[in-house]
Amino acid sequence: MSTIIEIDNLSKAYDSGTKALSGVSMNIEEGEIIALLGPNGAGKTTLISIICGLVVPTGGTVRVGGHDIRTDWRAARRMIGLVPQEIALEPFEKVINSVRFTRGLYGEKPDDGYIEQVLRSLALWEKRDAATRELSGGMKRRVLIAKALAHRPKVLFLDEPTAGVDVALRREMWQVVEQLRRDGVTIILTTHYLEEAEEMADRIGVINKGQLLLVKPKDELMGEFGGKTLTIELDSTLTEIPAGLADRGLVLATDGRSLRYDYDTRAERTGIARLLGDLSANGITVRDVSTRQSSLEEVFMSLVDDRKSEDAA
Ligand SMILES: Nc1ncnc2c1ncn2[C@@H]1O[C@H](COP(=O)(O)OP(=O)(O)OP(=O)(O)O)[C@@H](O)[C@H]1O
């Protein structure tokens, strides 16, 4: 894989004095899907807007395909498509014309063959002559993607692609994104839905208060921060944890029917085998055991919370 976007020490302070980004550096590789996660006001839209040339940074550099977004903005901009959060379409315009028009804005020659291919891949071909106001919400979002792809960009930014849409539509969008990945488009998406990042992204970047806390392959992130919980269902009811097991970090459920054991997936020895042996030695009969990996949501919350407590210190 080669690097398609290089972000180096990027910062942005708005005129109001808000520091929206400070010292953000990261590389984005060609063909990957990267999800940017962060609470409201973290700086995600500012970051995307700078890369797309809509907001001027206060410091740092961004290169897209080797082109500096400030000194060589035209070439940089041509490589990028942006799907905005808000649906803004000309209500009376036909779908196909709206996509053609966007292509023209980039100074590209008409290419109806390519536009047909885009509309077909987004399942909009049958609707090409419909006015955009006649379309369903999901179709409107797909028209926005078609417009963003009209000039054949190599990188597509999706700013909260499924904000406020129902579960079925969200899944439909995921399939569209998966298809784009197969076509070799690099995708950067922001989302509030951790499930979405978990489902789609190869890498995840976490932004909080204008800083990039980390950017890591999804699996690594889950493995590194994701603890596991072992739930041990008991055959009989316990009123307390036996003295012999007091220092094992076990938590007894309020109904006394199960024990919870949190362990670190990175540890070489999780101690589970010994724990089960010790339970038996203390006369506790186990009915069943199950494990649960923490979700990305828990990982994310613990990252953002850590920051909060550091700030407070
Ligand atoms: N044009 C602007 N002028 C002044 N401040 C701004 C402007 N745009 C954003 N901000 C501020 O910059 C900070 C970062 O905002 P940004 O929109 O980048 O965050 P975000 O992570 O995209 O949030 P959300 O998830 O709510 O969209 C916020 O404090 C916001 O109020």
Residue 108 has pLDDT above 90, yes or no: no
**Rounded Cα gap, residues 201 and 131, in angstroms:** 33
Residue 46 CA: nearest ligand 1 atom is 18
pLDDT of residue 205: 93
With tokens 């006369």, the residue in question is: 283
> What distance, in Å, lies between the first and last C-alpha atoms of the chain?
41
Mean pLDDT of 162-187: 83
Q: Rounded CA gap, 166 and 162, in Å?
A: 8
Instruction: Establish whether domains 3-223 and 227-293 are of one fold.
Output: no
Ligand 1 mean position, distance from CA 133 (Å):
30
pLDDT band at residue 138 using 50, 70 and 90 as cut-offs? confident
- Is the CB of 43 inside a 6 Å radius of any atom of ligand 1? yes
Q: Looking at residue 36, what is its pLDDT?
A: 93
Token pair for 107 = 């100074």
Average pLDDT rounded to a whole number, residues 196-201: 84
On the question of pLDDT at 184 being above 70, the answer is yes
pLDDT at 273 over 70: yes
Q: State the architecture of 227-293 in CATH terms.
A: 2-Layer Sandwich (3.30)
DSSP 8-state secondary structure symbol assigned to residue 107: T
pLDDT for 306 equals 58
| 16 ligand 1 Cβ < 6 A | yes
Task: Report whether CATH 3.40.50.300 matches the domain 3-223.
Answer: yes
ipTM (interface pTM): 0.96
Nearest CA to ligand 1 atom 7: 14
How far, in whole angstroms, is CA 114 from its chain's centroid?
A: 29
At 91, is the pLDDT very low, low, confident or very high (cuts 50, 70, 90)? confident
Ligand 1: which of 24, 44, 162 to mutate, most ligand atoms within 8 Å of CB?
A: 44
Query: Would you say 112 and 187 are in contact if contact means Cβ atoms under 8 Å apart?
Result: no
pLDDT of residue 146: 92
Calculate mean pLDDT across residues 231-248.
89
- Ligand 1: residue of 14, 22, 48, 300 to mutate (most ligand atoms within 8 A of CB) is 14
Per the DSSP assignment, residues forming a β-bridge with 24 are: 10
Which position has the higher pLDDT, 297 or 277? 277
More confident residue, 44 or 173: 44
Average pLDDT of the segment spanning 210-217: 91
> Based on C-alpha coordinates, what's the Rg of the chain?
25
Summarised one tens digit per residue, pLDDT across range 30-89 is 999 999 988 888 899 999 999 999 999 999 999 999 999 999 999 999 999 998 887 788
What's the confidence (pLDDT) of residue 267? 65
3-class DSSP state of 178: helix
Computed over every residue of the chain, the mean pLDDT equals: 86
- Confidence at 27, pLDDT banded by 50, 70, 90: very high
90 near 132, Cβ under 8 Å?
yes
Amino acid at 110: P
pLDDT surpasses 80 at 270: no
> Which residue carries 């054949």 as its tokens?
152
Distances (CA, A) of 32 to 65, 154, 254, 263: 14, 11, 46, 32
Which residues are CB-contacts of 217 (< 8 A; sequence separation ≥ 6)? Answer: 202, 203, 204
261 — phi, psi (to 5°)? Answer: -130, 115
For ligand 1, whether the C-beta of 208 sits within 6 Å is: no
Q: Where are the domains of the chain?
A: 3-223, 227-293
Task: Please compute the mean of the pLDDT values over residues 222-236 and round it to a whole number.
Answer: 79
- Average pLDDT score over residue span 148-162: 90
List, in order, residues 6 or more apart from 213 with CB less than 8 Å away. Answer: 206, 207, 303, 304, 307
Q: What percent of the chain has pLDDT over 70?
A: 90
Residue 128: pLDDT above 70? yes
Residue 264 is predicted with a pLDDT of 72
Residues 150-162 have a mean pLDDT of 90
Torsions phi, psi for 201 (to 5 deg) = -80, 145
Give the whole-angstrom CA distance, residue 271 versus residue 285: 18
